[in-house]
Amino acid sequence: MKDKTIGFIGLGVMGHSMAGHLLDAGYKMHLYTRTREKAGDLVEKGALWSDSVSGLAAGSDVIITIVGYPADVEEIYLGDGGILENAKPGTIAIDMTTSDPGLAERLWQAGREKKIRVLDAPVSGGDLGAKNATLSIMAGGDEAGFEEALPVLEVMGKNIVYQGKAGAGQHTKMANQIAIAAGMVAVCESLAYAGRSGLDPETVLKSIGQGAAGSWSLNNLGPRIIKGDDRPGFFIKHFIKDMGIALESARRMGLDTPGLELALGLYKEMADKGFGDNGTQALYKLFQ
């Protein structure tokens, strides 16, 4: 697989580290992002800059995308000058954006018509998982395409699971985000309670982080909350997007998700207060 050229689109908080790991692993790489400056250090390490999505798609064997919103995914794949219009037959395209499961199914079908294998493979683990190459990756699409892409995915993550047909990766990510949403409310409430009662929050974390209450959010974002570090490992504005997709998907299936609705409302309040570009742990501010 190392003889394949990878095209990488999207160098945000997570994408930059992910692309860097692939470059360090010896893959030839073409890069495209709306802000060219974000690619500067990767270009210095040997990546090639592409001026357009179409040029990147035409020159790549494997294309990875991790962008902001479903509308961005749709434009990059299906728009004029997009991936599916310009990639050659046999290309594997892996969308690692957290996006709409229905869109993932559409992309798979459109790719199939052009003999391009499209996988939906969103990730979990935030900036730390991306930096440490320990992301959880949940994949949907053709299993044969997944198996062929697995060596590439293994450079970026550790817990890599094929979930099923197209859209299954995105549905799994929605389940992940639903679990995180209510959990983040609980983490913030818990630390607010500890502080209000006069306890030392760091000492509290030593106890509850290793017990039944322990979670990734508590043990990784709890220390950031205590330090007042609101820098984004994952943006509030993107979490709101994810929760909105999950809520709509749940409603289409006739499923009530009251915990998700509560969390979404609180995070929207944070965005209205101007904290959309902060990390999800900034929700704690509502409880101070």
Residue whose tokens read 């037959």: 89
On the 0-12 / 13-18 / 19+ scale of CB atoms within 10 A, 206 is exposed
Strand partners, 119: 94
- Contact indicator for 100, 245 with CB cutoff of 8 Å: yes
- Contact indicator for 127, 233 with CB cutoff of 8 Å: yes
Rg of the chain, C-alpha, whole Å: 19
What's the gap between Cα 278 and its chain centre?
Answer: 16
Measured N-to-C along each axis, helices 168-196 and 258-272 cross at an angle, to the nearest 10 degrees, of 70
- Contact indicator for 240, 273 with CB cutoff of 8 Å: no
Helical residues (DSSP H) of the chain, grouped into ranges = 15-24, 40-44, 53-58, 70-78, 83-86, 101-113, 126-132, 143-156, 168-196, 201-208, 216, 222-227, 236-252, 258-272
- Contact indicator for 147, 181 with CB cutoff of 8 Å: no
Distance between CA atoms of 205 and 211, rounded to whole angstroms?
Answer: 10
DSSP characters over 205-250: HHHHTTSTT--HIIIIIHHHHHHT----SSBHHHHHHHHHHHHHHH
Distance between CA atoms of 173 and 194, rounded to whole angstroms?
Answer: 31
Active-site residue 173, yes or no?
yes
Catalytic one among 28, 131, 173, 241?
173
Tell me the catalytic residues: 173
